[in-house]
Structure 1
Amino acid sequence: MYAIIETGGKQYKVEKDDVIFVEKLAVDENSSVDFKVVAVSGDNGLKVGAPYVEGASVQGKVLKNGKAKKINIWTYKAKKGESRKMGHRQPYTKVQIEAINA
């Protein structure tokens, strides 16, 4: 059994006990979170929502809030001698899927 969930403007295919990294959520560690279900597949086949499946839910447990590795960005303008360095660390939430209720 798997489900397609939506969070942070992205969609993820998840199964029970999967660990996923999603866009940062405003929840504390060791708390539970519910996700919107776009589609769910089970014994009865695939059920697709319009836009979400009614009565279906996916529960997850927040394991960690953190930041990804730093990426460095260089911008450069040719023949002007202009360049600058920027960095970015994307925040994330690490979630373990506990149950898929269809």
Structure 2
Amino acid sequence: MFAVLKTGGKQYKVQSGDVLRVEKLEAAAGETVQFNEILMIGGDDLTVGSPFVDGAAVNAEVIDQIKGDKVINFVKRRRKHSSQRTRGHRQQLTLLRVTDILANGAKAPAKAKKAAPKVEAAAETTGTKPANLLTEAREGGADDLKKISGVGPKLEGLLNENGVYHYDQIAAWNAEEIAFMDEQLSFKGRIERDGWTDQASKLAAEKE
């Protein structure tokens, strides 16, 4: 006898004794889970559900909670942002062994619940907040930060919102402070890549 069951948005054709991997279920190793969304039961007679077969179920024993193979996702944005990002992902899975296929609605353990999505903790801010941030520009007005290569009107506005108005502020940043400002501006590596501190030092010297 075989059955076609549905779980995690996927369909699986199974027989007693089969081992399969499904999207993570809330169950510990050794526990028995039941699947009630059965699309088809086959054997001496074939029963097709509409959409599910009434009273049918599949029991399985949880072997382990595992992770799938790593999937690499590479995203590259051209022209305006000119950025690229590589991320890896390993899907959390439950390894099962099918123990029983029930065609007549025999009493069995309650259906396992799909694991609730894991809520990741908010990422901690990296780096150190610069000590030379200001609440407003000094007397004489703010410097034209757009003279720094890579800084446009929008980015200049973000810098001002974060307390940066003058060349000498940017020129004085160390590595930890650069990491902090990268985080605030949501442009990872932009400050070092475009050499903001060197440019700001030259602009500050010319201003004097």
Which TM-score applies when normalising by structure 1? Answer: 0.91
Alignment correspondent of 1:76: 76
- Once residues 76 and 93 of structure 1 are traced to their aligned partners in structure 2, the CA distance between those partners, rounded to angstroms, is 33
- Once residues 10 and 81 of structure 1 are traced to their aligned partners in structure 2, the CA distance between those partners, rounded to angstroms, is 37
The structure in which a higher percent of residues are strand is 1
**Larger relative contact order (Cα-Cα within 8 Å, sequence gap ≥ 6):** 1
Alignment correspondent of 1:90: 91
Q: State the Cα RMSD in Å.
A: 1.3
The structure in which a higher percent of residues are helix is 2
Runs of 4+ in 1 over 4 A off after TM superposition: none
Question: Percent of counterpart pairs with the same letter?
Answer: 39
Structure 2 gap ranges (5+): 104-208
Q: Residue 97 of structure 2 aligns to a residue in which SS?
A: strand
Shift of 1:78: 3.1
Residue-pair matches, total = 101
Matches within 5 A, 1:14-29: 14-29=14-29
- Once residues 49 and 82 of structure 2 are traced to their aligned partners in structure 1, the CA distance between those partners, rounded to angstroms, is 54
Alignment correspondent of 2:33: 33
Q: Which amino acid aligns with 2:84?
A: S
- Once residues 57 and 96 of structure 1 are traced to their aligned partners in structure 2, the CA distance between those partners, rounded to angstroms, is 14
- Once residues 39 and 63 of structure 2 are traced to their aligned partners in structure 1, the CA distance between those partners, rounded to angstroms, is 23
Q: Which amino acid aligns with 2:64?
A: K
Say whether residues 1:13 and 2:19 are aligned partners.
no
Alignment correspondent of 1:4: 4
Alignment correspondent of 1:100: 101
Which TM-score applies when normalising by structure 2? Answer: 0.46
